[in-house]
Amino acid sequence: GENVEQHPSTLSVQEGDSAVIKCTYSDSASNYFPWYKQELGKRPQLIIDIRSNVGEKKDQRIAVTLNKTAKHFSLHITETQPEDSAVYFCAASVRSGGGADGLTFGKGTHLIIQP
């Protein structure tokens, strides 16, 4: 099955600086890559996603890049703000052995924005 590796596990940046989180995936058939933000005690919230036919996507301060050849994708957050502090998960679409089309998640990155 699919395996998604995510780094770093913890990232601390100064407010206003940029943050980059990186993920790699194993299944070359994966074609959909979302990013979720999860604050403590809350649901995962979709913040941006990208498909395998696109190399880059941007939404205000957030951007995602995808390198299909290398099987890695990254989340970039610019001009970080205190409210960006949360756990961020990358994910890849996958077919399980039973034919399910769910998501395989990376282990998460705890992003800490220092004031």
**How far is residue 104's CA from residue 94's CA, in Å, rounded to a whole number?**
7
Tell me which DSSP letter residue 83 carries.
Answer: G
Choose one: 11-19, 53-61, 63-71, 104-112; the region binding other proteins (CB under 8 A): 104-112
Least distance between other proteins and beta carbon 86 (Å): 13
Toward other proteins, which CB reaches closer, 19 or 48? 48
Rule CB under 8 A: is residue 96 a binding residue for other proteins? yes
Rule CB under 8 A: is residue 106 a binding residue for other proteins? yes
State which of residues 19, 77, 92, 103 lies at the interface with other proteins (CB under 8 A). 103
State which of residues 53, 69, 83, 100 lies at the interface with other proteins (CB under 8 A). 100
State which of residues 27, 49, 63, 76 lies at the interface with other proteins (CB under 8 A). 49
Rule CB under 8 A: is residue 102 a binding residue for other proteins? yes
φ, ψ at 70 (rounded to 5°): -85, -10
Which residues of this protein are in contact with other proteins, per CB under 8 A?
31-32, 34, 36, 42-46, 49, 89, 91, 93-94, 96-108
